[in-house]
Amino acid sequence: MTVISTEAAYADTWVIWFHAPGLAREPEPGQFVMVHCSAEGTDPMFARAFSYHRVERDRFAILFHVTGRGTTWLASRKRGDAVRAYGPLGHGFRLPDEPGNLLLIGGGVGIAPMVDVAERALTKGHQVVAMMGARSSGHLLPAAAWPKEVEYVVVTEDGSAGPKGFVTQHLGQYQEWASQIYACGPNAMFQSLADVLRFNGRRQRPEILMEENMPCGWGMCYGCAIFTHHGVRLCCKDGPRFNLFDVY
């Protein structure tokens, strides 16, 4: 695939748009793509998994936080550079056919797939609220990244934007309003979300996208095992979509 643009989104977090007709052909919301974050034959050898952040015809974008050599290399790509990748992979979110109220929850860079989910949900006639939890105001996805029809709610751990605390502590009226809930973020957020939603009397079946290290992306290496109430599953092949209460 070919780099179209590389831009800073917020603190140490980048958005890259790629021209890649094959990889952008009708991925499910919540699927991922495996990107080689190095020149061919160099270290790091294994590809990295990134959610589809946005998709437009023959192009798509990923949102990622710079954490090491691979993502540092990726953030330095310029327009016209070639990057190796394969996908789409995994099972994405299942959006209801009938219009409803969808609550999207993202913890940190787990917000990455939610913009694409929101855009697709709006075309189906759903009402969408997106909630993001972050360390501070400098670690929030800008409001301009969302379609104008989305209600965007932010929570920060230091209280510098929105209420102070974790996003799962401020679901409030939104968990009552929502007919379906989708979430992506760290495992600690999922555990907290399960503790809140399990006893709200709504009989909701929240769908989550699990974050695990995926060296291969298609179930060959068994490096991304998830221990569910129904046995061991592979995050890349059986997921990354899981029912929240099947895991927590």
Strands 2-10 and 13-19: antiparallel
The pTM is what? 0.95
Dist CA 138 CA 50 (whole Å): 22
All CATH 3.40.50.80 domain ranges of the chain, comma separated, are: 101-209
Pick the CATH number of 101-209 from 3.40.50.2300, 2.60.40.10, 3.40.50.80, 3.40.50.10310: 3.40.50.80
- The residue with tokens 């991304």 is 224
Q: Where are the beta strands (DSSP E) in 11-126?
A: 13-19, 32-35, 48-51, 54-56, 59-65, 85-89, 101-107
> Is the CATH code 3.40.50.1100 the one for domain 2-89?
no
Q: How far is Cα 193 from Cα 198, in angstroms, rounded to an integer?
A: 8
* Grouped pLDDT means (10 residues each) for the chain, 248 residues: 97 97 94 93 87 97 96 97 97 96 97 98 98 97 97 98 97 94 97 92 88 92 94 96 96
Which ranges in the chain are annotated with CATH 2.40.30.10?
2-89
What DSSP designation does 70 have? H
pLDDT at residue number 39:
85
